[in-house]
Structure 1
């Protein structure tokens, strides 16, 4: 099936590539069509394209809905997102973050890749070369930027100021999360890294007490505010953020010996000796 202009995808939220390259690290390891198997040396027809990835955050490419999640011998853990007439399968995942039936927009975090990312694409049920789909997405993104429009607009966020204990280190924390947060999620999911017992218990207590006090669903839930929390829940949200950021930094210290630049040597030693 050859790509035509009529197949161009319309998306109110803009467009986004499925992942962001880290200093050019990502490369395609297997193309679409007739290929030679890298292990057996035999020819076979490859129904998608493969990229070598290391636990990359994967984003939705446009307005869509998660239409399938599953696991099988061929794809491993996989997720299917429908964008209009397109159906895109992301396979060999390490984690799925957007659940079945979830509506997504361009840039919504949908899943986390494994060491290998396999992508398949169908249009009106007919298989096409995924590179044609990705080229179309990239072209639409660049065209919007050239016209002075934001290709991938910012999402609506909760209209509240949620201060944390890490305000002075915000930029540094965000940079660390951009690089290591997928690994953190993956190790939590696989049980290779365990949430500190006091952190887990604190989170349980916060959510239990918040439910009792009716902090949740105070406003209509949305994609950016799925629990429907309002101004009354600002202190709760701040406590949760402090706990989660603190645990991520604990993971960075224990797994990678990376610390915030503002930490003293004594504080670093305390982190490394935490039970």
Structure 2
């Protein structure tokens, strides 16, 4: 089974391939951070603070004071503070809800329309957190999806779109 480093490398390679093609399809897709270092995956784990079994509904990406970017075009559906999530931004991307949490600060407000790659905040360690990082979660109709698979799927689709648009 691939480790965290393998998964991070695979995602970065895929995105590099998409971006290096320079086609129109890349304009509606971005990574949530300029560089990725996966520190916690989606699914079952022992919670790092409570030390109890837990289901992690997102992924954690290590970062220090980095701008957080919207992964797709969408509208900010919520921002605020939650005791567990800390400062957060939630964006609705045509029915796909993406949560960006533990932010030091949000740079957008509810109702704002954003494009892929728009800076929406800065990474932090607010809420129940063991250190500075981005908690990134994806859901559709309240059902959480593996964000890593979601990003890989977006990247693969953009790569196919780019290949079909090349002369």
Q: Are 1:18 and 2:35 an aligned pair?
A: no
Conserved in 2, the CA contact under 8 Å of 1:61 and 1:137?
Answer: no
1:67 is aligned to 77
Maintained 8 Å contact 1:16/1:137: no
Distance 1:110 1:35, change over 3 A: same
Between structures 1 and 2, the one with greater helix share: 1
TM-score, normalising length from structure 1? 0.45
Q: Kindly indicate whether structure 1 or structure 2 has the higher relative contact order, using CA contacts under 8 Å at least 6 residues apart.
A: 2
2-structure distance, mates of 1:59, 1:27: 15
Equivalent residue of 1:143, what SS? helix
Residue in structure 1 matched with residue 111 of structure 2 by the alignment: 101
**Conserved in 2, the CA contact under 8 Å of 1:81 and 1:88?**
yes
Instruction: Please name the residue that 1:140 is paired with.
Output: 157
* Structure-2 separation of matches of 1:34 and 1:89: 19
> For residue 244 of structure 1, what is the aligned residue in structure 2?
none
Alpha-carbon distance, 1:143 to partner: 2.9
The structure where strand makes up a greater share of residues is 2
Q: Provide the secondary structure at the position in 1 that maps to 2:149.
A: helix
The number of residues matched between the two structures is 135
Report the TM-score, using the length of structure 2 for normalisation. Answer: 0.72
Match of 1:44 among 54, 68, 85: 54
From 18, 39, 50, give the equivalent of 1:29: 39
**Structure 1 position 88 matched with structure 2 position 91:** no
CA distance in 1, matches of 2:113, 2:55: 32
Larger Rg: 1
Q: 2:89 aligns to what SS in structure 1?
A: strand
Alpha-carbon separation, structure 1, partners of 2:60 and 2:49: 15
Choose 46-55 or 129-138, whichever is displaced more: 129-138
Q: Is the 8 A contact 1:89 1:119 kept in 2?
A: yes
**Matched-pair contact (CA < 8 Å) for 1:13–1:63:** no
How many Å apart are 1:142 and its aligned residue? Answer: 2.6
Stretch of structure 1 that moved more, 130-139 or 111-120: 130-139
RMSD between superposed Cα atoms in Å = 2.1
Q: Where does structure 1 lack aligned partners over 5 or more consecutive residues?
A: 1-10, 150-275
1:123 aligns with 2:140: yes
Counterpart among 57, 67, 70 of residue 57 in structure 1: 67
Shift >4 Å, 4+ stretches: none
Aligned to 2:89: 79
